[in-house]
Amino acid sequence: MRWLEYFEEGLVIVLMAAMTVVTFMQVVARYVFNYSFVWALELTGVLFAWLIFIGMSYGVRVGAHIGVDVLVKALGPKPARIVGSIAAALCIAYALIVTWGGYQYVSKMYDVGILMQDIPIAQWIPRLVVPLGFGLLAFRFSQVLWRLASGQEAHLLGDEAKEALKLQEEDVAEARK
């Protein structure tokens, strides 16, 4: 499964870089050459959508999503695992529902055969990210649920306070060298 992690990270990097390059080219073309690429805004929107839908599963994998977990932290370890497992199961159910709905949507777009407005490709192609992204999200939440059920350490949310303290400790250790 390591390949999937590398692919996911690489895709996020490529999407962000491509979005940045296209936007930069559009700004330079518009303000320096008084010219505009007709397709740039639509392509940037598609790249951004792909970045969001792939990035949400990446955020689950690395525990980067933020949320309010003060009640869960007030519970003991076992009740916290139970609550986390229930939350992960609900997230899996939601992701699978949207995956199925996204598949139905993309298949209708395929049947209709409409092209994008400024880019000559079928609209169903960039919209494939909906079922793919939510399918990957369901997989990532399944991994979290498995780690919770097997007693391994797993987090649904990022712990900003813990990370800030860790960074502070690293800065102090670095300053002492």
- In sequence order, what are the residues at sequence separation of 6 or more whose Cβ sits closer than 8 angstroms to the Cβ of residue 107? 124
Cβ-based burial of 35 (10 A; exposed 0-12, middle 13-18, buried ≥19): exposed
CA 18 to chain centre: 17
Per-residue pLDDT, 34: 86
pLDDT in tens, 25-72: 999 998 888 888 888 888 999 999 999 999 998 888 877 666 666 666
Cα dihedral across residues 156, 160, 166, 171: positive or negative: positive
Q: Which of 47, 51, 54 is nearest to 116 (CA)?
A: 47
pLDDT in tens, 44-56: 999 999 999 999 9
How much is the mean pLDDT over the chain?
A: 85
Per-residue pLDDT, 155: 63
- In sequence order, what are the residues at sequence separation of 6 or more whose Cβ sits closer than 8 angstroms to the Cβ of residue 8? 54, 57, 58, 61, 136
Per-residue pLDDT, 131: 95
pLDDT in tens, 131-144: 999 999 999 999 88
Under 8 Å between Cβ of 63 and 155 = yes
Whole-structure pTM value? 0.78
Under 8 Å between Cβ of 119 and 39 = yes
